[in-house]
Structure formats: structure tokens, C-alpha cells
Amino acid sequence: MLFSGLLLKWGRGKMRYEAIVVGAGLGGLTCAALLTQKGLRVLVLDKDHHPGGTSYVFQRGAFKFPMGPLSFSYPGYASCLLASLGIKEPLEFKRNHFQLITGDLDLVYSVAPKELKQELARKFPREADGLEAFFQDLQKAMKLVHDIYLWHPDYLPEKLSPLQEKVVQTEYSESRKTRILSWSQTFSGDVLRKYLNDRLLVNFLDSMGTGEPVMSFLTLAMMWNIMAVEGIWYPSWGIHGISDRLAEIIRAGGGELWLGMSVKKIIIENGQASGVLTADDNFIGADWIVSNADAKTTFLELTESRAVSGEFLEKVRSTPYTGSELCAYLGVDAEKIDLSQIRATHLFYCARPGQVEGTGPGTDGLNLESKEIEVCRWTDNEPGQAPSGYVGLILRVGFDYDHFARFRTGEKKRTSEYQAYKTELALKLVRIVENIIPGLSGAIELMEVATPLTYRDWGHRYQGSIAGWSWGADWTGNFGRKLLVETPVRNLFLAGIYAASELFMGGVPTAMRTGELAASLILRNIV
């Protein structure tokens, strides 16, 4: 036991809130802002010294870079939510586009499905008929998931508008439910291969890159709906600006934000969450606890294992998260590089598609040419975050946590070889990307490198995971429900990207939506 009964007794009644939110990421902040707006006495605690969690920015020299998200989908949802909190300042969004360069393929794919189909048919003329048939199926599924609240009963808003009520009554027909179930159990690779032969094309349509198919057909439809229909956008305040506004609302409403204060344990008594134990061993009581820490951290580290059933714990333990990445943040002299091949804010580039990757444990990770590297023109979104004459570029590539685990000797502690090793890998990425950005190596003024260890120790994510629970078809539906906001522990809720058990609206809006849902579940119980 990390805490004693005596300590609990001592602390009880001394410090007490109606709700404690563990984590000031977008999920936690959204929840806390909505609760303070309704007059609840709220405390938000975060390990970090800034609000916003991974959606914040950090400074290196004269440059600022994002810790995590680069842009996000469902901008209308975020705007409405922020407006409902009384923020009058207009929030505008700029569309971000996505491009793939691999082998002979070079296309911007964040376009309407019809346009994409035509472009692909031009590039793969032998596959034109197959593309026609595949897009027919895909668009049927996309139509089904288009209204995020209506595509599955688990996602319904608490209060239906009259229109939604009508749609639910008419649309939740047995045939719709059957289609949803069947597509969620259909492997996307099987649908693609039924119609198409070209491996590059199949892999592109499944992963928007070069990866082999992994997900269900319904998740695939969800992903294309986000990319091609909803679009991916960057807000005029910056994503960090949204966190700052939410933190202001919490403070203005009388809520408290304790930054730089870690929670060691969420205390559960008789099956009900009753408070938290802070890093400095203070017990703080609350009627409601919302954990914005990811689900594995919440149930495998912050709560006692006996607080939930063995079956639930095993699901949390065994269901994988999405992986992590190596990321090079570059401050670059704009005069010295040629960006003419980069036609979108985000480019995915694979120098040698189809080769076997080599980055697991026991390999040296040198086969980077076979991996898909994301190149983001970061300062296209935020020009003010680089000095005049310079641009901020971000190179990201998926990497196993295990590959770097040997360098970690403790929290934020590394072996002496780590720095040189990650720098060497980042420079390899730079040299590969130089194929499409001539002059890059010689133009770098500043480079910072993040690895899965960074996302673990600074992002506080379990094994540095990035994009929520696994998108793999084998795992989808493992929890038997799509949202994990309600937990098996009474008065304990989850908020944040890991509170959705599969790909939902994408990272930022999922974090906000689950925060909103946690707040409404608490308020429903109070009113």
C-alpha cells in the first residue's frame, strides 16, 4: 500500500472538491471547464507545468514546435463546444492537405472521394473498374459513419435534437445495424483485394500510405470520412491556444489548476472513487474523479488492481495501443532548401516501399528507407513560430517503444549513448527526406529529437503511444463498447483520446468530446 489508512483519515475533510480532474490535457480541461461553468468546485492536477498535455508547444532557440497534434478534424464540433463555454473570440480554421510520394505515386489525397477515385484511375488505368466498385462500397460505409453521433448508438449525444430523434427512429433500422456490425467485422484488406490487384494501391487505400491493411472496413470508412469529407484543419488560436482558453475559463469560474503536481494514486473505497493521493502524499477528497491519464496508466498504475474485475483489467492490459514514433523538429533556413515538391502541409514519403522494415528489438533500425516518413511544414500553420527567413519542419516516423527501452534508466533518465543514437537516426531521416527537399541537410539551424521515451516521460503516455487504442481489426470491439468514459468504478470517469476504444473523431475532438461526456454524466447525477 502506498498510502495508509491514517493518512486518508488525516486528509479527509481538509481538502475537498466536488470533482477532481487528473490531467490537464484537452480531455481534462474540457471536462473541468464544463463543470466549473455549472458551478462545481473543481480541481485539475497535472504533472506538467503547462496546461494542454500533449497538445502544447515547446520552445527551442527562436523556434516553437508542437509536442503532439499538428492539426485535427471536426472543427465545427470544437467551435460549438468553445462557444457554448461563452468564448466570443472568433475561432477560424485553415484546411490542411495531405500528400503521398512513394515509388511513382505522387498525389494529394485529402480531396473528395469522387476526385480521388478519378485521380487514382488515371494513375492506375488497369484498376479503373475495381476502383469504381471499391469506392461504391466505401462511400456507402462513409455515409453511414458521416454523422458521428448517429453512426453507432454508443455515440449518441445525451440529448437528441428533434432531427436526430427522427433520424434515430428511422435510421436505426435492423438493416442499418446489421450493416454496421458486418462492416465492423469485415477486414478492410479483404474488401480491397476483392476489387484491386496493385499492392501499392491497396496499401494506399487502406493506410493512406504504404502500410499493409490492418483495420476493419468500418474503421477504414471512418478514416476516409475524416480525411476526405470532414477534412483536417488548423485553428487560428493554435491547438495550444484552445488549451489556454479552457484553462482561463476554469480559473475564471473559480476552478483550481495545480500544475506540476502529479497524482500518485486514485483512491477507491468500497468500489467508489473518493479522492486522489498527490505526489507529495496529500489526500484530496472529491465526489467525482475524472482521469485524463490514458486508460492503461489509469487502471494499471493509478488505481489498485482489485478496484476492477480481473476480466476488465486483463482487457486493459492485453488490448494494444497504437505505437509511438521518432520525431525530428527542424529549424531550417528557408533560402537554402527547395520545397517545391511538397504540395501540402503534410507529406508522407516512403523512399523504398515494400521492403521489410527493420526497427524491432534486436535490429539496428537502419532500414528507414522502407518506412513512411511524415514531413510537416509546421510553420505554414503557425508562421510566427519561426524567426523571419526560417521555417519549422517536422519529420515523424513510426517506431517501437521497445527499440528505445534499453536507453531508459528511470523517469526522464537515459544512458549516455541515447543522445548520440537518436541524433544519428534523425540525421538518417533528414538524408532520406533530402531526396524530396534538396538542400535540407545544409540548411538546418536547429534540431530537436523526440523518441517514444520522450512521449512516455514528457507526454506521460503509456509506452509513448500516440493515437489511442489499436486500430487493428483484431482488437476493434474488444471492450464491447465504443466509449470507455464510464468505468467499472463508481464515480470514476475517463476523458481523453484513450476514452474511446477505437478510432472515433480523431485525437483532439475525441479528447474534447469524451471530456464533455464525462462532465455531462457527472452533472446528470448531480441535478
Ligand X SMILES: Cc1cc2nc3c(=O)[nH]c(=O)nc-3n(C[C@H](O)[C@H](O)[C@H](O)COP(=O)(O)OP(=O)(O)OC[C@H]3O[C@@H](n4cnc5c(N)ncnc54)[C@H](O)[C@@H]3O)c2cc1C
Report how far residue 490's alpha carbon sits from residue 482's, in angstroms, rounded to the nearest whole number. Answer: 19
Q: Which residues contact 313 (CB under 8 A, 6 or more apart)?
A: 299, 300, 305
Give, as ranges, the residues between 208 and 267 that touch ligand X (CB under 6 A).
Answer: 262-263
Residue 509 beta carbon to ligand X: minimum distance, rounded to whole angstroms: 7
Region of 165-173, 211-219, 474-482, 507-515 interacting with ligand X (CB under 6 A): 507-515
- Smaller CB separation from ligand X, 422 or 461: 461
Contact 228, 112 (CB under 8 A): yes
Length reported for the chain: 527
Which one of residues 296, 377, 456, 460 is an interface residue with ligand X (CB under 6 A)?
460
Choose among 468, 1, 43, 9: nearest CA to 288: 43
When asked if residue 392 is in the footprint of ligand X (CB under 6 A), the reply is no
Question: What interhelical angle do 75-84 and 507-526 show, nearest 10?
Answer: 40
Give, as ranges, the residues between 338 and 367 that touch ligand X (CB under 6 A).
Answer: none
When asked if residue 69 is in the footprint of ligand X (CB under 6 A), the reply is yes
Report how far residue 143's alpha carbon sits from residue 283's, in angstroms, rounded to the nearest whole number. Answer: 49
When asked if residue 497 is in the footprint of ligand X (CB under 6 A), the reply is yes
Which one of residues 20, 33, 42, 48 is an interface residue with ligand X (CB under 6 A)?
48
When asked if residue 71 is in the footprint of ligand X (CB under 6 A), the reply is yes
Amino acid at residue number 466: I
Region of 44-52, 84-92, 417-425, 474-482 interacting with ligand X (CB under 6 A): 44-52
Contact 203, 213 (CB under 8 A): yes
Which one of residues 17, 72, 204, 348 is an interface residue with ligand X (CB under 6 A)?
72
CA atoms within 13 A on the CB side of 405: 12
Choose among 293, 275, 249: nearest CA to 16: 275
Contact 495, 31 (CB under 8 A): yes
H or E stretch including 64?
A: strand 63-66
Phi and psi, residue 365, nearest 5°: 70, 20
Cell of 228: 476526405
Report the residue closest to ligand X, judged by CB: 25
Region of 304-312, 333-341, 422-430, 460-468 interacting with ligand X (CB under 6 A): 460-468
Residue 70 beta carbon to ligand X: minimum distance, rounded to whole angstroms: 4
When asked if residue 75 is in the footprint of ligand X (CB under 6 A), the reply is no
- Smaller CB separation from ligand X, 130 or 507: 507
Residue 495 beta carbon to ligand X: minimum distance, rounded to whole angstroms: 7
Cell of 154: 454508443
| Number of shown-chain residues binding ligand X (CB under 6 A) | 37
Residue 290 beta carbon to ligand X: minimum distance, rounded to whole angstroms: 11
Which one of residues 36, 55, 274, 303 is an interface residue with ligand X (CB under 6 A)?
55
Which one of residues 37, 207, 297, 463 is an interface residue with ligand X (CB under 6 A)?
297
- Smaller CB separation from ligand X, 289 or 466: 466
Angle CA 135–136–140, to nearest 5? 110
Which one of residues 36, 37, 54, 188 is an interface residue with ligand X (CB under 6 A)?
54
Which one of residues 459, 476, 483, 520 is an interface residue with ligand X (CB under 6 A)?
459
DSSP 212: P
Residue 396 beta carbon to ligand X: minimum distance, rounded to whole angstroms: 7
The burial class, CB within 10 Å (0-12 / 13-18 / 19+), for 85 is middle
Q: Which residues contact 420 (CB under 8 A, 6 or more apart)?
A: none
Give, as ranges, the residues between 317 and 336 that touch ligand X (CB under 6 A).
Answer: none
Interface characters, 2-41, with ligand X (x: CB under 6 A): --------------------xxxxxxx-------------
Residue 323 beta carbon to ligand X: minimum distance, rounded to whole angstroms: 11
Which one of residues 141, 373, 503, 508 is an interface residue with ligand X (CB under 6 A)?
508
Residue whose C-alpha cell reads 493506410 in the numeric block: 207
Residue 511 beta carbon to ligand X: minimum distance, rounded to whole angstroms: 4
Phi and psi, residue 339, nearest 5°: -95, 15
Residue 285 beta carbon to ligand X: minimum distance, rounded to whole angstroms: 17
- Smaller CB separation from ligand X, 255 or 506: 506
CA atoms within 13 A on the CB side of 422: 28
DSSP 356: P
Report how far residue 237's alpha carbon sits from residue 90's, in angstroms, rounded to the nearest whole number. Answer: 9
Report how far residue 510's alpha carbon sits from residue 500's, in angstroms, rounded to the nearest whole number. Answer: 7
- Smaller CB separation from ligand X, 368 or 508: 508
Residue whose C-alpha cell reads 487560428 in the numeric block: 236
- Smaller CB separation from ligand X, 70 or 148: 70
Q: State the residues that interact with ligand X by CB under 6 A.
A: 22-28, 45-48, 53-55, 68-72, 262-263, 292-293, 297, 302, 455, 459-461, 466-467, 496-497, 506-508, 511
